C-alpha cells in the first residue's frame, strides 16, 4: 500500500468509532470507551454555556446586592430631605436647633413625622415605628458649625448630608451614615432577593435547556460533513476512487471536502493510468518475447536453420527488449528521486554541438540534412549535470532521427530569453496531429503505434527527457515545426553571472 493508502487507513481508523457507535460514545479496538467527535463538541458547547450561565448568575446576584443597597440608601436620603423640610417648616424662627438635643421626645416625634412626609406622593408605604427607630440610629443632627446636637456619634462614615434652611440661612444639617440595615429593610431585601433569585434560576435553567437544543442542531450540522468524509474514506479504502462528496458549505469543512474530492479524482486518474500502464507494458513486453519465442521454436523444430542471419534477428529483439527495460528502470529512478545530479557549471552550446556531432553518422544513414544554427562564439552556461544533459540531447536527436522521413532535415538552434537558455530541435515531416501534441511526453504514448514499434521506439524516450529537464528546473514543450514535423523546445535557467555575450 502506498503513502496515500496509509493516510486514508489512518484517517479511517481515527473516525471509525463515529460510524459504528452512538453519537456520544464509541468503543475502540482495546474495548475502551471514548467520546466521539459529536460527543466532544456537544460537551464542549454545554460546558461553555454552563460556565457562562454560572458567571451570569454570580454577576447578577452581586450587581443586585450592590444596586439594591444603593437604592435603599437613596430612599433613606430622600426621607432625610423630607425631614429637613419638616424641621425648617416647623421651626422657622429658631436661630438654631440645639434645643432638640435636650428634648429626645420631640426629636423622635419630628423624626416620625419628617421621615414619612411625602411618602404617599412618592408611592411608598409609611415606615413603621420599629423602622423609624432603626433609621433614627443612622441619623445625626448638627448645628451650623458642625457640632453634634443629636443622633449617631461623629466618626461614623457619612453617606449623605442635607442642609436645614431657615429664612435663607442654615440653622444646621442632617447627616445619613452607613449603618446596618434595619430589620424591616433586611426583611424586604431578603424577600425581594428570594423572588428575583427564583426568576434568575428559572431563566438560567431555561437558557441551559435552550442552549442544549441549539447545540444539538449546531453539532449535527458540524459533524455531518465529517461523517460524509468518513464514509468517503471508507469507499476509497475499498477501491471506489470515483467517490465524490457533496460540498454544501464554504468553511474549513467545505474546503476539506473539496480537497477530498480532488484527492479522489487524483486517485481515480492514477488508477486509470496504472491500468493503462500495465496494459501497455504487457503489450510492449509481449511483442519482443513473442518474436523471440517464435524464432527459437522455429530453430528448435528445424523450420529455420540457426545461421548468423537468424541469430542477429534474435539479438535485435533482445536489444529492443533490453532498451525497453532500461528505459523503464530510468523512469523508476527519476520517479523515486534516486538519480543524483552532479552540481556543476555546464556550457550548453558546446555540449549540444558535441551531441550533434556524435549523431551525424546516424543521421547520414537516412540522408537527413542537419542545419546547425549554433553560435559557438557565445556561451550559454547553466547549472546541472553534464552527463544527464548530454543524455537529454542525445535522446532528442535520436527521436528526430527515428521519426523523420529519409531525406528530411533537422534544425538545431540555441538562444537566451528572459534569463533562460532556450534550445530548439526541429525536424521535417511527418508532423504530429494537434490532439497528440499535449500527450507526447506521456509514457508509452505513440502517435502511430505500429510505425513507432517498427522503428524501434519504446514510447518512453520523451518521458525520460521531460524528467531530465524538470530535474534541472526547466521546462520542455512540443510544437509544430516550420519544417513540417515536430519542434521540441527546452528551457533551462541561465547562469547569468557566467554568461558571455
Does residue 178 sit within a domain?
Answer: no
Whether omega before 499 lies within 30 degrees of 0, making that bond cis, reads: no
Share of the chain above pLDDT 90, in %: 11
The pLDDT value given to residue 423? 94
Same domain, 382 and 472: yes
List, for residues 262-281, the tens digit of each pLDDT value. 888 888 888 887 777 777 67
Q: Give 328 or 119, the one with higher predicted confidence.
A: 328
Same domain, 356 and 493: yes
The predicted model gives 58-71 an average pLDDT of 75
The pLDDT value given to residue 409? 92
First to last CA, the chain: 53
Same domain, 347 and 317: no
Beta bridge partners of 487: 426, 479
The pLDDT confidence band at residue 491, using thresholds 50, 70 and 90, is very high
The pLDDT value given to residue 477? 92
Domain end, chosen from 292, 309, 334, is at 334
Supply the CATH number for residue 415's domain.
Answer: 3.30.565.10
Same domain, 393 and 434: yes
The pLDDT value given to residue 19? 43
The predicted model gives 27-40 an average pLDDT of 60
Check if the beta carbon of residue 137 is closer than 8 Å to that of residue 149: no
The pLDDT value given to residue 59? 83
The answer, yes or no, to whether residue 450 has pLDDT greater than 70, is: no
The answer, yes or no, to whether residue 11 has pLDDT greater than 60, is: no
CA distance 77 to 68: 14
The pLDDT confidence band at residue 32, using thresholds 50, 70 and 90, is low
The predicted model gives 147-163 an average pLDDT of 76
Residue 188: other Cβ atoms inside 10 A: 15
Residue among 271, 276, 281 nearest 460 (CA): 281
Buried b (16+ CB within 10 A) or exposed e, 65-102: eeebeeebbeebebbbbbbbbbbbeebeeeebbbebee
CA distance 83 to 175: 11
Contacts 24+ apart (CB under 8 A), 467-471: 467/331, 467/334, 467/335, 468/334, 468/388, 468/389, 468/391, 468/392, 468/395, 469/392, 471/334, 471/339, 471/341, 471/388
The answer, yes or no, to whether residue 440 has pLDDT greater than 70, is: yes
Same domain, 318 and 379: no
Same domain, 361 and 387: yes
Same domain, 467 and 382: yes
CA distance 501 to 493: 16
List, for residues 453-471, the tens digit of each pLDDT value. 445 556 677 888 888 899 8
The pLDDT confidence band at residue 152, using thresholds 50, 70 and 90, is confident
Same domain, 324 and 411: no
- Total domains in the chain come to 2
The predicted model gives 56-84 an average pLDDT of 77
Range of the domain at 284: 252-334
Does residue 232 sit within a domain?
Answer: no
User: Which alpha helices (DSSP H) does 91-182 contain, by range?
Assistant: 104-116, 119-122, 129-136
CA distance 341 to 420: 20
The pLDDT value given to residue 348? 92
Amino acid at each position: 500500500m502506498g503513502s496515500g493508502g496509509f493516510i486514508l487507513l489512518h484517517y479511517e481508523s481515527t473516525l471509525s468509532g463515529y460510524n459504528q457507535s452512538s453519537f456520544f460514545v464509541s468503543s475502540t479496538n482495546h474495548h475502551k470507551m471514548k467520546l466521539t467527535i459529536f460527543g466532544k463538541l456537544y460537551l464542549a458547547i454545554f460546558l461553555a454555556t454552563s460556565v457562562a450561565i454560572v458567571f451570569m448568575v454570580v454577576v447578577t446576584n452581586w450587581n443586585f446586592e450592590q444596586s439594591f443597597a444603593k437604592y435603599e440608601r437613596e430612599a433613606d436620603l430622600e426621607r432625610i430631605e423630607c425631614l429637613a423640610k419638616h424641621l425648617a417648616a416647623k421651626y422657622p424662627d429658631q436661630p438654631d436647633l440645639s434645643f432638640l438635643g435636650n428634648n429626645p421626645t420631640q426629636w423622635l416625634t419630628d423624626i416620625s413625622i419628617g421621615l414619612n412626609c411625602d411618602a404617599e406622593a412618592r408611592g411608598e408605604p409609611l415606615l413603621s415605628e420599629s423602622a423609624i427607630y432603626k433609621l433614627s440610629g443612622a441619623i445625626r443632627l448638627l448645628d451650623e458649625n458642625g457640632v453634634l446636637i443629636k443622633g449617631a456619634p461623629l466618626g461614623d462614615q457619612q453617606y449623605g448630608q442635607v442642609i436645614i434652611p431657615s429664612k435663607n440661612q442654615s440653622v444646621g444639617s442632617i447627616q445619613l451614615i452607613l449603618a446596618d440595615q434595619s430589620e424591616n429593610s433586611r426583611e424586604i431585601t431578603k424577600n425581594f432577593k428570594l423572588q428575583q433569585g427564583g426568576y434568575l434560576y428559572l431563566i438560567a435553567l431555561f437558557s441551559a435547556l435552550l442552549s442544549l437544543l441549539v447545540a444539538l442542531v449546531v453539532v449535527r450540522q458540524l459533524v455531518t460533513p465529517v461523517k460524509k468524509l468518513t464514509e468517503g474514506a471508507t469507499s476509497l479504502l475499498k477501491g471506489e476512487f470515483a467517490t465524490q462528496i457533496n460540498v454544501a458549505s464554504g468553511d474549513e469543512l467545505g474546503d476539506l471536502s473539496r480537497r477530498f474530492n480532488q484527492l479522489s479524482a487524483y486517485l481515480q486518474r492514477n488508477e486509470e493510468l496504472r491500468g493503462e500502464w500495465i496494459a501497455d507494458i504487457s503489450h510492449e513486453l509481449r511483442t519482443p518475447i513473442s518474436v523471440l519465442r517464435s524464432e527459437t521454436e522455429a530453430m528448435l523444430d528445424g523450420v529455420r536453420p540457426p545461421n548468423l542471419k537468424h541469430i542477429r534477428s534474435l539479438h535485435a529483439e533482445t536489444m529492443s527488449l533490453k532498451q525497453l527495460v532500461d528505459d523503464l528502470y530510468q523512469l523508476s529512478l527519476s520517479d523515486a528521486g534516486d538519480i543524483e545530479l552532479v552540481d556543476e557549471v555546464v556550457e550548453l552550446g558546446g555540449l549540444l554541438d558535441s551531441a550533434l556531432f556524435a549523431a551525424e553518422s546516424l543521421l547520414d544513414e537516412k540522408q537527413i540534412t542537419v542545419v546547425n544554427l549554433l553560435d559557438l562564439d557565445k556561451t550559454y552556461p547553466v547549472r546541472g549535470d553534464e552527463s544527464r544533459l548530454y543524455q537529454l540531447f542525445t535522446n532528442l536527436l535520436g527521436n528526430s532521427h527515428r521519426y523523420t522521413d529519409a531525406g528530411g532535415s533537422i534544425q538545431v538552434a540555441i538562444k537566451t530569453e528572459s534569463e533562460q537558455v532556450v534550445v530548439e530541435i526541429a525536424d521535417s515531416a511527418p508532423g504530429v496531429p494537434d490532439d497528440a501534441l499535449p500527450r507526447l511526453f506521456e509514457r508509452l504514448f505513440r502517435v502511430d503505434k505500429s510505425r513507432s514499434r517498427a522503428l524501434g521506439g519504446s514510447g518512453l524516450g520523451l518521458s525520460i527527457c521531460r524528467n531530465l529537464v524538470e530535474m534541472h528546473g526547466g521546462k520542455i514543450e512540443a510544437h509544430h515545426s516550420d519544417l513540417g514535423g515536430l519542434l521540441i523546445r527546452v528551457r533551462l535557467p541561465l547562469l547569468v553571472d557566467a554568461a558571455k555575450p
